[in-house]
């Protein structure tokens, strides 16, 4: 025989009016056994359990109803049922947590904070520090305007070992504080970067702020090649620091990046270099060399040559600088500059006692301009250093064509169909036959 719900409910009502509470409860239980989602009947049954002094059973019925309403989004109605549970069990933690969540979802933040704070205090009182911290973190997620609560939550996450989670919280605080309190925003960002050193954007922002404010020590804390990459302001600051610390290898790469990012910084890089010249010419040239490389990479050969000429004027006879200048002149097609630099380089080789190198260049120069007495003199000095037995005779043979020069001209196209005939020049008056 089919279950008759209506008849059962009427019978339960009669029993209730007769004061037969237990019998009425039994009838309502039968209805719910047939239709467990009859929430009105469940609510009535919960009330009757309460009247019958069976609080646990009452709570079970109310909890079923409240959880259903909560899951279906009927928040005000669910809250009303949860509050009925608290009247029976004022310290029921699960119910307080649910009421806290409901209040948060409805935007009633004062109530949500109250419920979560009660749970946190109770957990702390019974020695459940981890559970209390969980509530502190939840409180810190409720109200974006509660800066102190959010800071406390971030610190609790850090203390519990969740460094990335804490870093994220500090990062969010930084974003929200930027337009309100710059000092506090930067403090939050420093915490985020401390916890997550891989936060490149955060490090860059802190470095930029430190550079702008002139706080060199702070800038050193956050600034490195990765942080500065692509940012001319930071790259220049990093270069300045590298210069002070003698970080030669890294600074060469920084110079290239800086000038590639903003060619306008070339002059500023050069100005950093000049004070080093007297103290350490070799180190100063390393900076000039890197700057010239950046210029050459941008096809600014004339500018590179000009910078090298200025350096050579300040540090006469430095062979690496002269070699670099010759290289730039050849690559850039700066013919006149190259010949002049070759002569200077030959003199530098002679002064350094590098006779073999000096002889090669001197022969090259004499072959091109046999009428220049200075070139012939360089040739003779190189031969003397090499202990050639009769240098003047060798020079005369070369000039007469008896023993031809084998100079290479970097600016002549050897693939041309015809080349100009060489012009013979008489030997100088001081040459010996």
Query: Which pLDDT tens digit goes with each residue over 165-187?
Result: 999 999 999 999 988 899 999 99
Alpha helices in 280-421 (DSSP H): 281-297, 301-314, 319-332, 335-351, 355-368, 373-385, 391-400
Question: Span 63-92, mean pLDDT?
Answer: 93
Select the more confidently predicted residue: 266 or 373: 373
Residues 384 and 364 in one domain: yes
CA nearest neighbour of 220 among 230, 229, 210: 210
Q: What's the CA gap between 107 and 112, in Å, rounded?
A: 8
Kindly state whether residue 162 falls inside one of the protein's structural domains: no
Structural domain of 375? 344-412
Kindly state whether residue 282 falls inside one of the protein's structural domains: yes
Task: Name the percent of the chain lying above pLDDT 90.
Answer: 57
Residues 242 and 293 in one domain: yes
Q: What is the pLDDT of residue 265?
A: 86
- Domain end, chosen from 285, 303, 333, is at 333
Number of independent structural domains in the chain: 2
- Domain end, chosen from 283, 309, 333, is at 333
Query: Which pLDDT tens digit goes with each residue over 287-312?
Result: 888 889 888 988 889 999 999 999 99
- Domain end, chosen from 307, 333, 359, is at 333
Residues 263 and 355 in one domain: no
Select the more confidently predicted residue: 133 or 394: 133
Query: Which pLDDT tens digit goes with each residue over 396-408?
Result: 888 887 665 554 5
Residues 249 and 325 in one domain: yes
Residues 350 and 326 in one domain: no
Residues 312 and 405 in one domain: no
Residues 299 and 249 in one domain: yes
Q: What is the pLDDT of residue 1?
A: 59
Kindly state whether residue 281 falls inside one of the protein's structural domains: yes
- For the cut 80, the answer to whether the pLDDT of residue 428 exceeds it is no
Written as one string, the DSSP assignment of 159-211 is HTT-HHHHHHHHHHHHHHHTTT-HHHHHHHHHHHHHH-TT-HHHHHHHHHHHH
Query: Which pLDDT tens digit goes with each residue over 26-45?
Result: 998 999 989 999 999 999 99
Question: Span 268-284, mean pLDDT?
Answer: 84
Task: Name the percent of the chain lying above pLDDT 70.
Answer: 92
Q: What is the pLDDT of residue 250?
A: 75
Residues 290 and 371 in one domain: no
Question: Span 240-262, mean pLDDT?
Answer: 80
Kindly state whether residue 159 falls inside one of the protein's structural domains: no
Residues 321 and 358 in one domain: no
Domain CATH number, residue 313: 1.25.40
Kindly state whether residue 432 falls inside one of the protein's structural domains: no
Reading phi first (left if > 0) and then psi (alpha if -120 to 50, else beta), residue 422 is in: beta
- Give the orientation angle of helix 182-195 with respect to helix 163-177, to 10 degrees: 160
Question: Span 87-113, mean pLDDT?
Answer: 93
Kindly state whether residue 56 falls inside one of the protein's structural domains: no
Q: What's the CA gap between 367 and 209, in Å, rounded?
A: 60
Residues 301 and 251 in one domain: yes
Q: What is the pLDDT of residue 417?
A: 42
Residue 420 pLDDT class (50, 70, 90 cuts): very low
Q: What is the pLDDT of residue 412?
A: 42
Q: Are 372 and 294 in contact (CB under 8 A)?
A: no
Select the more confidently predicted residue: 229 or 138: 138
Kindly state whether residue 394 falls inside one of the protein's structural domains: yes
Residues 327 and 350 in one domain: no
Query: Which pLDDT tens digit goes with each residue over 197-228?
Result: 999 999 999 999 988 888 888 888 888 888 88
Q: What is the pLDDT of residue 243?
A: 78
Kindly state whether residue 265 falls inside one of the protein's structural domains: yes
**Tokens 């929200």 -> residue:** 176
Look over the chain and give the mean of its residue pLDDT values, rounded to a whole number: 87
Lowest mean pLDDT among 256-270, 343-357, 381-395: 256-270
Q: What is the pLDDT of residue 405?
A: 56
């Amino acid at each position: 025989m089919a279950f008759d719900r209506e008849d059962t409910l009427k019978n339960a009502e009669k029993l209730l009016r007769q004061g037969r509470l237990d019998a009425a409860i039994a009838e309502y239980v039968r209805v719910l056994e047939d239709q467990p989602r009859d929430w009105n009947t469940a609510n009535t049954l919960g009330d009757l359990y309460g009247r019958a002094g069976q609080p646990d059973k009452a709570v079970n019925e109310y909890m079923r109803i409240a959880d259903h309403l909560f899951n279906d989004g009927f928040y005000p109605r669910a809250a009303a049922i949860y509050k009925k549970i608290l009247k029976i069990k004022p310290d029921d933690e699960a119910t307080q947590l649910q009421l806290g969540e409901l209040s948060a979802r409805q935007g009633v933040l004062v109530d949500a904070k109250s419920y979560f704070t009660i749970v946190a205090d109770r957990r702390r009182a019974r020695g459940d520090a981890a559970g209390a911290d969980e509530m502190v973190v939840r409180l810190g997620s409720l109200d974006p305007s509660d800066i102190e609560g959010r800071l406390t939550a971030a610190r609790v996450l850090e203390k519990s070992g969740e460094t990335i989670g804490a870093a994220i919280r500090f990062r969010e605080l930084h974003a929200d504080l930027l337009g309100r309190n710059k000092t506090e925003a930067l403090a939050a960002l420093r915490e985020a970067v401390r916890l997550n050193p891989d936060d490149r954007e955060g490090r860059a922002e802190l470095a930029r702020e430190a550079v702008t404010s002139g706080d060199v020590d702070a800038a050193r804390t956050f600034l490195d090649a990765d942080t500065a990459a692509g940012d001319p302001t930071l790259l220049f600051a990093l270069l300045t620091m590298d210069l002070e610390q003698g970080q030669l290898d890294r600074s060469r790469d920084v110079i290239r990046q800086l000038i590639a990012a903003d060619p306008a910084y070339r002059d500023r890089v050069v100005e950093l270099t000049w004070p080093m010249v007297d103290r350490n010419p070799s180190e100063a040239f390393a900076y000039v060399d890197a700057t010239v490389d950046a210029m050459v990479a941008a096809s600014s050969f004339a500018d590179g040559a000009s910078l090298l000429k200025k350096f050579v004027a300040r540090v006469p006879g430095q062979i690496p600088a002269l070699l670099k200048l010759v290289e730039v002149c050849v690559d850039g097609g700066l013919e006149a500059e190259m010949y002049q630099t070759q002569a200077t380089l030959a003199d530098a080789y002679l002064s350094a006692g590098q006779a073999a190198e000096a002889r090669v260049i001197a022969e090259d120069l004499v072959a091109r301009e046999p009428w220049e007495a200075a070139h012939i003199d360089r040739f003779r000095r190189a031969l003397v250093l090499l202990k050639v037995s009769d240098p003047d005779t060798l020079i005369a043979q070369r000039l007469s064509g008896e023993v031809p020069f084998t100079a290479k001209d970097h600016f002549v196209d050897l693939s041309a169909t015809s080349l100009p005939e060489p012009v013979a020049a008489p030997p100088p008056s001081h040459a010996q036959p």
